[in-house]
Structure 1
Amino acid sequence: MLTRLILQSLAWLAFMGVLLFGAAGTLAWPAAWWYLLELAVLSLWLGVWLARHDPALLAERLAPLVQAQQSRWDRLFMAGIGAAWCGWLILMGFDAMRFRWSAPLPVWLMSLGALCVFLCIFLCRLVFRANSYAAPVVKIQASRGHKVADTGPYAYVRHPMYAAALVFFVGTPLLLGSWWGLLALPVMAYGMGWRAVREERLLAEQLDGYTEYMARVRYRFVPSIW
């Protein structure tokens, strides 16, 4: 499974590199190289940890993003978010390097971006430790004895993975030096919020104890806010 993890991660990073550097029109973009390197190291770190502690979850994370068990709305969402992701990377390449619409960001802000990317992956590890059913697609994993996760970060918010993604969506454009990329954050946040609401409806209908969990943990992404 580790071999599959490495090959799949390399393929994904290579695809991201093609989008970023292709849009930038140059390979001389140190921030993008650092971004891809950081993602490679952190992804390997998280994947190796999963392989040792929860190989079943790792298998779920490596599965296709469109599956037979998914609801139709989630398949459409995954297709839409995939297109939005590609457009986002291309936009940042255009902005930061090819056309330089954004003024150069100070080093401390780019460093903050790198820290946000690290924090996202670290938070994901906390999520995976608390929830062995944190698949990338919305489905009930009946064959694995799916049950409600309510410990760790799930004791504070109902969707800590999405909260971690918000940190990532802030960190990526900061590290790459693109103010225009940062402006996409409200769109990304709205999309994740829409999915969270639909996901909760499915879980409340099909997963024992989820309605009670929602009553105990009031907030979805950020405590005391939403």
Structure 2
Amino acid sequence: MNTSLRIAVSSVLGIAAFALLLFVPAGTLNYWRGWAFLAVFSVVSLVPTLYLGRKYPEAVERRTHAGPQAESRPVQKVVMAGTFAAFAAILVVPALDYRFGWSHVPAWLSIVGDVLVATGLGLAMWVVVQNNYASANVTVEDGQPLVSTGLYGVVRHPMYFGNVILMIGIALALGSYWALLLVVVGTLLMIVRIFDEEKMLSEQLGGYRQYMDKVRYRLVPLVW
């Protein structure tokens, strides 16, 4: 199976899983925020990924090795297990919120959330263009260069920054203030991941210590 077809099949299965996590807890298909989120997520993730799969197939291949089983470091295995659980919860909680009426998020704010979803996904895709070695698991490959320009000149982990924007966007797009608590959980897990990842990178990737001195912010520009 070629890369593009594998990406398409994987994306369709992923969207189907998202739909189950949304509409089963919601107890109905009449959940416009869920449909709008799925549409935005599908288009903004699938189209660029297919393009990247043709132009940078090795980079996309690295992104497919994800999950606790793909990690070699014990801390990262735990973090990724927690991250997967938090991401599933950030879909399920808004669906339950819709079903039981816990939050009252205005429609315009959900539209803003969809914009944030597109922005977060777009940042993640752009990171892959700027750094073809950006993988889904924490590793350093032979001959891997240090990327310190572009988005990496602003923040040391731009893909994780995109993920923070994405999580906030999902909570708002799906209409749940309660799901914002899961953004805190997901961000804390990313912080743990970053500390462990930077420890490894400073030991194994040439020039990374100097890069840390040059680029001050780890996750969010002007904040941390």
TMscore range, shorter length: over 0.9
What residue is the counterpart of 2:206 in the other structure?
208
- Other structure's SS at 1:223 match: coil
Rounded Cα–Cα distance in structure 2 between residues aligned with 1:95 and 1:177: 8
Range with bigger deviation, 156-165 or 49-58: 49-58
Over residues 30-58 of structure 1, what are the superposed CA-to-partner deviations in whole Å (9 max), with x where a residue is unaligned?
A: 11011111111111122122123211011
Identity %: 36
What residue is the counterpart of 1:151 in the other structure?
149
Rounded Cα–Cα distance in structure 1 between residues aligned with 2:124 and 2:51: 12
Rounded Cα–Cα distance in structure 2 between residues aligned with 1:201 and 1:181: 31
What residue is the counterpart of 1:102 in the other structure?
103
Rounded Cα–Cα distance in structure 1 between residues aligned with 2:86 and 2:214: 34
Judged with a 3 Å threshold, the aligned counterparts in structure 2 of structure 1 residues 208 and 67 are, in CA distance, closer, same or farther, namely farther
Aligned ranges for residues 172-211 of structure 1 at < 5 Å?
Answer: 172-211=170-209
What residue is the counterpart of 2:85 in the other structure?
83
User: C-alpha displacement at 1:64, in angstroms?
Assistant: 4.2
User: C-alpha displacement at 1:190, in angstroms?
Assistant: 1.1
Rounded Cα–Cα distance in structure 2 between residues aligned with 1:177 and 1:78: 26
Aligned length: 222
What residue is the counterpart of 2:6 in the other structure?
4
Which of 48, 52, 58 is the equivalent residue of 1:50? 52
Rounded Cα–Cα distance in structure 2 between residues aligned with 1:67 and 1:146: 22
Range with bigger deviation, 132-141 or 48-57: 48-57
Over residues 164-220 of structure 1, what are the superposed CA-to-partner deviations in whole Å (9 max), with x where a residue is unaligned?
A: 111111111111111111222222111111111110000001111111111111111
Rounded Cα–Cα distance in structure 2 between residues aligned with 1:67 and 1:188: 19
Where does the alignment leave 5 or more consecutive residues of structure 2 unmatched?
none
Amino acid at match of 1:131: N
Amino acid at match of 1:148: L
Rounded Cα–Cα distance in structure 1 between residues aligned with 2:223 and 2:157: 13
Rounded Cα–Cα distance in structure 2 between residues aligned with 1:69 and 1:146: 18
What residue is the counterpart of 2:167 in the other structure?
169
Judged with a 3 Å threshold, the aligned counterparts in structure 2 of structure 1 residues 119 and 68 are, in CA distance, closer, same or farther, namely closer
- Other structure's SS at 2:179 match: helix
Aligned ranges for residues 131-150 of structure 1 at < 5 Å?
Answer: 131-142=131-142, 145-150=143-148
Whether the aligned pair in 2 keeps the contact of 1:158 and 1:217 (CA below 8 Å) is yes
Over residues 80-118 of structure 1, what are the superposed CA-to-partner deviations in whole Å (9 max), with x where a residue is unaligned?
A: 21122222221111112x111112x22221110011011
User: C-alpha displacement at 1:125, in angstroms?
Assistant: 2.5
Amino acid at match of 1:168: L
What residue is the counterpart of 2:129 in the other structure?
129
Rounded Cα–Cα distance in structure 2 between residues aligned with 1:113 and 1:41: 15
Where does the alignment leave 5 or more consecutive residues of structure 1 unmatched?
none
Cα RMSD, aligned residues only? 1.4
- Other structure's SS at 1:180 match: coil
Structure-2-length-normalised TM-score:
0.94
Whether the aligned pair in 2 keeps the contact of 1:126 and 1:152 (CA below 8 Å) is no
User: C-alpha displacement at 1:66, in angstroms?
Assistant: 4.0
Amino acid at match of 1:72: P
